[in-house]
């Protein structure tokens, strides 16, 4: 047997009673899980989930009692363990109230409530109902008979005369109703504000408790549309609880369905955004010369795209041979920079680094120099940043901390407009060749490029990329590497990373007779260059550079980009290999 309402009320002196006036099983079960103390099954609840307003319950659309009993028995009555009140209509003049009440008790309902109720009528129509014996007095008689039959009684009332009538019938619960709800898409104009409702309920409940202290007093409807509203009214009126109808089924459903539908609808926009992001990521991969299927590469590309949209200084950290300069160059293009792109090699500079970066004023033996970082919307890439002098590093740190700096030998403070990208190895950082304070300042823009040996799953993508370029340059069909050939590539440690992989693949493509490059060719090329750092085999490097120059019609800029090195580095390599006039 479900607990009585008075037992529920005595279980806590803090929590108010909450009743849910509903019309569908799913809402009933959800309300119980949410902590509802009792349910009212009402035809208005059913009409709401059918898409009609609650006021449809007052129209002669169907036999209200049969309509309510049908869905309540099938969906609610045996599905919940809290008290269920049957919303009973007394309008039918042919209804035998005593027999009807007995049937409600036999069906297993805990109690009965007078709904639909004549309290929602007024004026001449209400007077006509009362005169015909089909008005509120008949509802009170139904409640009185229900009490005699052992059912709990729930009386809806608005006016003082109605309240007096249900008190005389000794109802268990008095529900002071403020009219149809104000909230949601089917909001109804209100006669009460929250303050009016609280004040009215306080005066009525005070008199009710003086007349019959055991009556449970709850509020419903009108301006109460959310828990905060309920708290304000119940606290002001000292009410025992609240009954929610539209506030517990229609309005939450409207809001939830609307938001969920909007979310699904927005998926197309999100999909377009994802596609745009994917296109930008693909563009970043193409410009940076980065390819592969590892999660490391995916994160690297995402980071590259994000940083390109900012002006943050960047520190690219990784071993040599990973295309770090090409990656740094891609930041300039991806960011849509219109200024100059300057690449400086800290190892090859004859001018003090701080002068190159920040400019210099004329002094003894020193000419006026404009700093590379002065160029608006430009990007300055510094290779071998660990070789930057101490003065240059302190200048950089001061600029990053203050936002301004003075040119060398000058007294004027200014704000450099260019973007800074430093390239260093992990060894340079660990050895302290790049000041730890400077590296810390660059942490938010740091890009770590993992060595190829730590992500062997990216080797096939790089190899295919190189072979496609060779095929296009030589107007040949695309070459392929056999499965056993890939096993050879996977087994190598790639000390020079992608640079070494490119050299091996390109040399293999040159000497291969067929369309597929096998393991024998790859192993022989790797063995021939084993233990070198790329400079110990001048003839091999010379052929490698010469092949790249021929492909790009000896345009050094394009050749350097293709090889993933700076023009200065390409020039030095050509000079050592004897390729300069």
According to the model, what pLDDT value does residue 424 have? 93
Mean pLDDT in runs of 10 for the chain (581 residues)? 53 72 89 90 87 84 92 92 94 94 95 93 91 93 95 93 93 90 54 82 91 91 84 88 84 73 58 59 79 85 90 92 90 88 86 82 65 86 91 88 78 79 92 91 92 87 84 67 83 89 89 81 84 41 72 73 71 79 58
As a three-state string, the secondary structure of 227-291 is HHHHHHHHHHHCCCEEEECCCCCHHHHHHHHHHHHHHHHHHHHHHHHHHHHHHHHHHHHHHHCCC
Average pLDDT score, the chain: 83
How distant, in Å, are the alpha carbons of 35, 58, 123, 203 from that of 116? 25, 6, 17, 26
CA angle 155/158/160 to nearest 5° reads 100
According to the model, what pLDDT value does residue 367 have? 61
Q: How many residues are listed for the chain in this entry?
A: 581
Pairwise CA distance, residues 458 & 285, whole Å = 13
As a three-state string, the secondary structure of 99-128 is HHHHHHHHHCCCEEEECCCHHHCCHHHHHH
Tally of CB atoms within 10 A around 7: 10
Residues 568 and 347: beta-carbon distance below 8 Å: no
According to the model, what pLDDT value does residue 96 have? 95
How distant, in Å, are the alpha carbons of 220, 324, 357, 414, 417 from that of 157? 10, 79, 84, 78, 75
| Tens digits of residue pLDDT in 110-148 | 999 999 999 988 899 999 999 999 999 999 999 999 999
According to the model, what pLDDT value does residue 477 have? 65
With 0-12 CB in 10 A as exposed, 13-18 as middle and 19+ as buried, what is 74? Answer: exposed
| DSSP letter for each residue of 308-323 | HTS---EEEE--TTS-
pTM strictly above 0.95: no
Q: Is 37 helix (H, G, I), strand (E, B) or coil?
A: coil
Tell me the two tokens of residue 375. Answer: 């160029």
Tally of CB atoms within 10 A around 202: 15
Residues 315 and 350: beta-carbon distance below 8 Å: no
Residues 538 and 578: beta-carbon distance below 8 Å: no
Tell me the two tokens of residue 376. Answer: 């608006």
| Tens digits of residue pLDDT in 454-509 | 888 888 888 888 888 777 665 556 778 887 888 888 888 899 999 999 999 988 88
Short-list 126, 205, 112, CA closest to 155: 112
Catalogue the long-range contacts made by 296-301 (C-beta closer than 8 Å, 24 or more residues apart): 296/450, 296/454, 296/455, 296/458, 297/455, 297/458, 300/447, 300/449, 300/450
- Does 116 sit behind a cis peptide bond, omega within 30 degrees of 0 on the bond before it? yes
Residues 132 and 114: beta-carbon distance below 8 Å: no
| DSSP letter for each residue of 333-386 | HHTT--S-EEEEETTT-SS-HHHHHH-B--BTTB--B--GGGSTT-EEEEESGG
Short-list 246, 113, 100, 108, CA closest to 174: 113
Q: Is 95 helix (H, G, I), strand (E, B) or coil?
A: coil
According to the model, what pLDDT value does residue 271 have? 55
According to the model, what pLDDT value does residue 11 have? 45
According to the model, what pLDDT value does residue 539 have? 38
Count the alpha carbons within 13 Å of 541 in the hemisphere toward its beta carbon.
Answer: 19
Short-list 301, 304, 379, CA closest to 338: 379
Residues 199 and 240: beta-carbon distance below 8 Å: no
Element (H, E) at 405: strand 405-406
According to the model, what pLDDT value does residue 12 have? 44
Pairwise CA distance, residues 405 & 372, whole Å = 13
- Helix, strand, coil proportions of the chain in percent (round to 5)? 50, 15, 35
According to the model, what pLDDT value does residue 533 have? 41
Q: Which residues contact 308 (CB under 8 A, 6 or more apart)?
A: 284, 330, 331, 334, 335
Pairwise CA distance, residues 392 & 423, whole Å = 15
Q: Is 85 helix (H, G, I), strand (E, B) or coil?
A: strand
CA angle 531/532/537 to nearest 5° reads 135
Sign of the dihedral defined by the CA atoms of residues 114, 115, 118, 119, in that order:
positive
């Amino acid at each position: 047997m479900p607990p009585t309402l008075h037992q529920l009320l005595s279980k806590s002196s803090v929590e108010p009673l909450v009743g849910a006036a509903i019309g569908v099983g799913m809402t009933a079960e959800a309300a119980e899980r949410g902590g509802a103390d009792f349910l009212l099954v009402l035809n208005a609840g059913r009409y709401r989930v059918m898409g009609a307003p609650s006021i449809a319950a007052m129209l002669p659309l169907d036999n209200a009692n049969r309509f309510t009993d049908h869905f309540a028995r099938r969906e609610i009555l045996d599905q919940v363990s809290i008290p269920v009140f049957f919303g009973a209509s007394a309008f039918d003049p042919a209804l035998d109230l005593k027999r009807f009440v007995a049937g409600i008790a036999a069906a297993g309902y805990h109690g009965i409530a007078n709904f639909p109720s004549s309290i929602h009528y007024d004026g001449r129509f209400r007077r006509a109902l009362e005169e015909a014996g089909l008005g509120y007095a008949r509802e009170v008689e139904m409640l009185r008979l229900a009490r005699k039959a052992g059912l709990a009684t729930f009386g809806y009332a608005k006016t003082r005369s109605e309240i007096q009538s249900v008190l005389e019938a000794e109802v268990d619960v008095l529900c002071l109703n403020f009219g149809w709800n104000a909230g949601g898409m089917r909001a109804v104009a209100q006669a009460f504000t929250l303050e009016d409702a609280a004040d009215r309920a306080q005066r009525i409940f005070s008199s009710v408790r003086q007349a019959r202290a055991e009556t449970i007093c709850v509020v419903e409807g009108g301006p109460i549309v959310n828990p905060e509203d309920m708290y304000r009214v119940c606290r002001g009126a000292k009410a025992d609880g609240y009954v929610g109808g539209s506030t517990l089924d229609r309005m939450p459903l409207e809001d939830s369905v609307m938001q969920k539908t909007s979310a699904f609808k927005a998926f197309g926009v999100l999909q377009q955004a994802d596609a745009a992001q994917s296109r930008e990521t693909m563009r970043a991969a193409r410009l940076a010369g980065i390819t592969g299927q590892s999660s490391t590469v995916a994160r690297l590309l995402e980071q590259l795209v994000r940083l390109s949209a900012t002006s943050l200084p960047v520190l690219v950290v990784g071993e040599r041979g990973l295309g770090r300069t090409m990656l740094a160059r891609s930041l300039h293009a991806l960011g849509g920079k219109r200024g100059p792109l300057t690449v400086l090699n800290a190892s090859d500079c004859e001018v003090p680094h701080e002068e190159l970066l920040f400019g210099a004023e004329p002094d003894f033996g020193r000419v006026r120099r404009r700093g590379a970082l002065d160029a608006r919307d430009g990007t300055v890439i510094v290779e071998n940043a660990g070789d930057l002098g101490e003065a240059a590093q302190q200048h950089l740190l001061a600029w990053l901390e203050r936002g301004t700096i003075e040119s060398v030998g000058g007294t004027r403070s200014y704000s450099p407009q260019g973007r800074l990208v430093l390239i260093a190895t992990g060894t340079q950082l660990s050895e302290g060749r790049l000041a730890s304070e400077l590296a810390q300042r660059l942490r938010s823009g740091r890009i770590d490029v993992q060595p190829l040996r730590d992500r062997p799953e990216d080797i096939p993508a790089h190899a295919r990329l190189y072979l496609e370029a060779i095929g296009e340059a030589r107007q040949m069909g695309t070459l392929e590497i056999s499965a056993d050939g890939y096993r050879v590539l996977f087994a190598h440690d790639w000390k020079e990373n992608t640079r070494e992989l490119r050299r091996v693949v390109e040399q293999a493509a040159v000497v291969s007779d067929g369309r597929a490059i096998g393991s024998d060719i790859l192993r022989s090329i790797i063995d021939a260059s084993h233990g070198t750092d790329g400079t110990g085999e001048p003839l091999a490097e010379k052929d490698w550079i010469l092949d790249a120059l021929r492909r790009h019609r000896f345009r050094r800029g394009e050749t350097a980009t293709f090889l993933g090195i700076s023009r200065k580095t390409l020039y030095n390599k050509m000079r050592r290999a004897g390729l300069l006039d």
